[in-house]
């Protein structure tokens, strides 16, 4: 596996592959890789001749109250995992490579509507940073397909929107959520959970399953949301939201809607913020 830090050698290798008629898959990450990321790479490897993975902790998607410097960085371990799974090239740029004018003076990609709700409400500006860095990376790598995990469901919808709206020539693939045996969605943030918190954390997924059952039993989405919020609080979590939305655009469904929905939860457990979702219908 190659590791490159600049755009020129990245593009040179991609051009060489394309010159031989070979396809390129791409998996963007912020590093600190785990089994969930590995599943994304394996999906890309199954669909493309070569796979590029980026590791870049993007400063523009961190809010004022979020510690960019605290985000775990583990490049040597990431390199070992990626090499073992069969990744062809790791792109690990510096901030100056991604933002030559500085992160505070970059051109910004803004996706309307989708980015003002849920995560956008609790993390203002987050999705502008996500959309901007994803757009930059797609232009740098120029892949045939890019894989994004469904755990960050709203992010996936934002990326799908910007790719379609900006007419970017890349196929976006959604990868299923990778879970621990007890249902907890795998995340780099899970390492911050204490043993007691880790034992309690599966209640997030359990609540999503309960939301599905409540909807199937005929309860209105608004009733399901209130019940899910209460369930999380009784388990000791502090929810930002526990909602039912249309899967296509995250719009609020009508009381009678049952198909094409997704349940989404974001909740704090101690100092750790957990997010998860479950498609319904």
Which 3 state secondary structure label does DSSP give 241?
A: strand
| Domain identity same for 163 and 194 | no
| Domain identity same for 151 and 64 | yes
What pLDDT is attached to residue 64?
A: 81
∠ CA 128-63-37, nearest 5°, is: 70
In terms of residue numbers, what domain contains 206? Answer: 188-272
> pLDDT exceeding 70 applies to what percent of the chain?
100
Whether residue 256 has pLDDT greater than 80: yes
**What is the DSSP-derived secondary structure letter of residue 124?**
T
| Domain identity same for 149 and 204 | no
Q: Is 37 a catalytic residue?
A: yes
pLDDT band at 177 (very low <50, low <70, confident <90, very high): very high
From residue 38, alpha-carbon distances to 18, 35, 88 in Å are 24, 5, 13
> Does the residue 181 lie in any domain?
no
- Token pair for residue 231? 């369930």
The DSSP-derived string for 102-118 is: -GGG------TTGGGST
Q: What distance, in Å, lies between the first and last C-alpha atoms of the chain?
A: 41
Q: Report the C-alpha dihedral over residues 155, 157, 159, 165, rounded to 10 degrees.
A: -150
**Which residues face 27 on adjacent strands?**
53
> pLDDT exceeding 90 applies to what percent of the chain?
95
**Which residues face 91 on adjacent strands?**
4, 54
> Does the residue 280 lie in any domain?
no
CATH number at residue 76: 3.40.50.620
Catalytic one of 37, 126, 142, 205: 37
Whether residue 9 has pLDDT greater than 90: yes
How far from chain centre, in Å, is Cα 246? 18
> Does the residue 266 lie in any domain?
yes
Q: Position of tokens 């490897």?
A: 45
Calpha distance 210→185 (Å, rounded): 16
> Does the residue 161 lie in any domain?
yes
SS3 per residue for 256-269: CCCCCEEEEEEEEE
- Summarize pLDDT for 204-239 with one digit per residue, the tens: 999 999 999 999 999 999 999 999 999 999 999 999
pLDDT band at 240 (very low <50, low <70, confident <90, very high): very high
Burial status of residue 187 (CB atoms within 10 A of its CB: 0-12, 13-18, 19 or more): buried
| Domain identity same for 150 and 240 | no
Whether residue 67 has pLDDT greater than 80: no
Q: Position of tokens 């894989």?
A: 147
Structurally, how many domains does the chain consist of? 2
Q: Please give the average per-residue pLDDT across 149-153, as a whole number.
A: 97
> Does the residue 279 lie in any domain?
no
CB-based contacts of 74, cutoff 8 Å, min separation 6: 31, 32, 33
Calpha distance 9→110 (Å, rounded): 29
∠ CA 15-100-25, nearest 5°, is: 30
What pLDDT is attached to residue 202?
A: 98
Q: Please give the average per-residue pLDDT across 259-264, as a whole number.
A: 97
CATH number at residue 242: 3.30.1300.10
Q: Please give the average per-residue pLDDT across 120-138, as a whole number.
A: 97
pLDDT band at 110 (very low <50, low <70, confident <90, very high): very high
């Amino acid at each position: 596996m190659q590791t490159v830090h600049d755009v020129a050698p990245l593009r040179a290798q991609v051009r060489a592959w394309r010159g031989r008629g070979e396809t390129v898959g791409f998996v963007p990450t912020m590093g600190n890789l785990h089994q969930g990321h590995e599943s994304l790479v394996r999906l890309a490897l199954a669909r493309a001749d070569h796979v590029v993975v980026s590791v870049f902790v993007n400063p523009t998607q961190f809010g004022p109250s979020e510690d960019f410097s605290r985000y775990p960085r583990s490049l040597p371990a990431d390199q070992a995992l990626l090499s073992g799974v069969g990744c062809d090239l790791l792109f690990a740029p510096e901030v100056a490579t991604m933002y030559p004018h500085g992160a505070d003076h970059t051109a910004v990609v803004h996706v309307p509507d989708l980015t003002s709700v849920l995560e956008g409400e609790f993390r203002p500006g987050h999705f502008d940073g996500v959309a901007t860095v994803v757009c930059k990376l797609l232009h740098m790598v120029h892949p045939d397909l890019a894989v994004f995990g469904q755990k960050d469901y709203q992010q996936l919808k934002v990326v799908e929107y910007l790719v379609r709206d900006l007419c970017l020539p890349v196929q976006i693939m959604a990868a299923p959520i990778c879970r621990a045996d007890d249902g907890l969605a795998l995340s780099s943030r899970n390492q911050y959970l204490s043993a007691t918190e880790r034992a309690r954390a599966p209640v997030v997924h359990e609540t999503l399953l309960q939301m599905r059952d409540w909807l199937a039993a005929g309860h209105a989405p608004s009733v399901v949301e209130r019940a899910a919020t209460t369930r999380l609080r009784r388990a000791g979590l502090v929810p930002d939201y526990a909602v039912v939305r249309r899967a296509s655009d995250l719009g609020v469904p009508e009381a009678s809607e049952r198909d094409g929905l997704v349940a989404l939860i974001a909740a704090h457990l101690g100092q750790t913020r957990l997010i998860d979702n479950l498609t319904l219908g």
